[in-house]
Structure 1
């Protein structure tokens, strides 16, 4: 399911538009700064971000949205993401404020044109193209955004879109002469979609909404990572997976962020590779944390694959597991993802290992998705539980056609785990 959040993840800052308005809209944004949960201190936020893309949510607040005539101050749940790049702040500012050259920076943008400019406010029309080998899922649309430039930020207002109401803000902060912290904070109203494809997909898979904010942030900041950071793949040892390097105080802060926003917190790790029988395979891991009020014992159920059908009854059709032997078992999970315009059946074959009652490790041992690896663990924290899932999912060249077609999408090896983790922990939350 999470593979198809990719089709929607450009929707907030690059909302697909069919009508371009040329008049500048009067708008005073009150989008929260990404620094707000970190004492407005860039260095403190950087200490959590490290070499990852750090994604976290803000508590619900009212925002200023002049395009929503029925309620110009709706409640909004903003999501922020942060990335450190080895580039001075002047170059970052030049790149982010050069809207005409967003083409080439963000993979889905094919053209950019200034519609109107007044001082530091610029209205842009972009052409978004998301081709796939499945024609019914192709997107080729225009985008209209209003950008408002300040000394170290750009606030953006979606004018018209299948996700018609949305806001976003880039910020950038010098950490030293050669490193800059880039942040993105955004929100979009996913309950009022327009456009045939968007409506069909969101109606068919409402869970997609849970993964769109994190996937959108990951897509945009991964584009900036690609631009500013030289590719360096870290070879992991056998049995090793990526994990955030956080001390106890930082973990407590992660739990607090999740508890306050009632949303998950994610780290999209830097590129790594792991050993398979055919050789090393580049894999991108994402670690997601979710705080629950319940004790860890109540989370044990969700470590067993038989419980997954309860979380995803519309998509998972059948689960067959082997008996547990030597703390491990195999699971055959039959899935059918209906997108409203096309159905995509596939099978997971996973092996689970249970080193203790609050942890599992899993990896693909066959099936249609052969490159899957991850781990889940629940720990007691702050009179509740902090649930952690780390996973990586990648579509290989031997996958069935309808899945293999997704390899043509940008960051197909990055976004599945980001969206999948986020949806998974929130589905558990709904059941607790």
Structure 2
């Protein structure tokens, strides 16, 4: 769900800003640190696919693929109380039209991360051995209010391994975080690049960041997906431009998945209890005034319940129970037996900050296991989505596809969010992940 944080002219979307924190962090004070002894114990992204590169590559296609791994122990030497915690990693994958040597060269060129990752301003190697480097980064995100600008530093320790680059956060407001790139040859001019990472969101530092997570704890459910997508999208754009697929009126992008792949998605979502997501290529969506480019994400979540038990979550009347802290009022108007209009009033308090958000949506119900929705008023002009319940012998696979785009004529506070990185991609992806996981927690 998108919201605007309102205070004398600033608008920020937590699901757009926070992914930057996980990868690069925002440290309050920074000094050079000595290299930390660390035997990285991060699972391979291929582990859920029986270490088969081609299986994951075939599933990834032209998309960004994001999935969770089962909980496992890892090594976090910066944790003083428990340096070997059991955590749940999130992995992601893309296919790059380049050989593995080119991909490795890019990932090891830390100083040229500037220009690769949006908002990153400087990168300086402060400590280095044969295969280990500590790098001090500076991140800058301007806002309409100077006191709320992000101009911070972070130090990350990078360790080169066999076709992998592991990273350990040394000092940042997300003080305990690790990640690992891996690259695999698909053919001479195609590489499967993956990223597996985890960050402790329960011990944040920094006033604004802590306030956001305390006021909107649901955001934590979307951060792993958003963080992985932010990083891989930046790298993907380095090697190729997003192709644009033209959609017809009422059409949604289609994932070409066979029965075996769909069963694998169901299995991974069931065993991890987490969503399995695709960030799809750019699309062109027809509107009455012309076409608009929009970025859809598709998220799958397994539920042990039958599809009949889940049908209530297709109705906007249930959304207030999913987001009781944010949605203050839902007003419904039946158009006919298969169509319904809904008006939502949302409010989130962050102490000195206030988040008001009003939007209107139209829902269509082609059958008992599906809804189609789109914005028809309020603060959002471009929002389209579809939710489907796919019955299975052991339960139901919920599939949600959505896209959100803020138009140039939106209210000022909301429109200012367009200056943030990937504002057309991360909110829908994060909202999908939050929605399906919140729903899963409700009986």
Same fold (TM over 0.5): yes
Within a 5 Å distance, the mapping from 1:205-354 to structure 2 comes to 205-354=216-365
Give yes or no for contact 1:13–1:156 (8 Å, CA) kept in 2: no
Q: Which residue is 2:129 aligned to? A: 118
* Pairing partner for 2:410 from 399, 414, 421: 399
Distance 1:338 1:63 in 2: 36
Q: Secondary structure at the match of 2:158?
A: strand
What is the count of residue pairs matched by the alignment?
Answer: 432
Q: Which residue is 1:189 aligned to? A: 200
Distance 2:112 2:383 in 1: 36
* Pairing partner for 1:68 from 67, 74, 79: 79
Q: Which residue is 1:8 aligned to? A: 18
Within a 5 Å distance, the mapping from 1:21-36 to structure 2 comes to 21-36=32-47
Q: Deviations over 1:317-360 (max 9, x none)?
A: 11111125041111111112334442121211111000111100
Distance 1:44 1:135 in 2: 48
Q: Deviations over 1:45-74 (max 9, x none)?
A: 011100000000001111100000110011
Within a 5 Å distance, the mapping from 1:24-63 to structure 2 comes to 24-63=35-74
Q: Which residue is 1:155 aligned to? A: 166
- TM-score w.r.t. the length of structure 1 is 0.98
Q: Which moved more, 1:357-366 or 1:235-244?
A: 235-244
Q: Which moved more, 1:7-16 or 1:245-254?
A: 7-16
Q: Which residue is 2:185 aligned to? A: 174
Q: Secondary structure at the match of 1:162?
A: coil
Distance 1:346 1:206 in 2: 18
Q: CA RMSD in A?
A: 1.2
Q: CA deviation at 1:22?
A: 2.2
Q: Deviations over 1:201-245 (max 9, x none)?
A: 111101111111000001101101211112321111111111321
Distance 1:272 1:388 in 2: 19
* Pairing partner for 1:367 from 378, 388, 391: 378
Give yes or no for contact 1:344–1:402 (8 Å, CA) kept in 2: no
Give ranges in structure 2 of 5+ residues lacking alignment.
3-12
Give yes or no for contact 1:134–1:405 (8 Å, CA) kept in 2: no
Q: Deviations over 1:153-183 (max 9, x none)?
A: 1000001111110000011111101111110
| Change in 2 beyond 3 A, CA 1:159/1:215 | same
Give yes or no for contact 2:95–2:192 (8 Å, CA) kept in 1: yes
Q: CA deviation at 1:134?
A: 4.6
Q: Secondary structure at the match of 1:281?
A: strand
Q: Secondary structure at the match of 1:12?
A: helix
In the alignment, structure 1 residue 198 sits paired with structure 2 residue 203? no
Distance 2:287 2:94 in 1: 30
Q: Secondary structure at the match of 1:282?
A: strand
Distance 1:343 1:395 in 2: 20
Q: Secondary structure at the match of 2:24?
A: coil
| Change in 2 beyond 3 A, CA 1:355/1:103 | same
| Change in 2 beyond 3 A, CA 1:279/1:136 | farther
* Pairing partner for 1:355 from 348, 363, 366: 366
Distance 2:73 2:25 in 1: 21
Give ranges in structure 1 of 5+ residues lacking alignment.
none
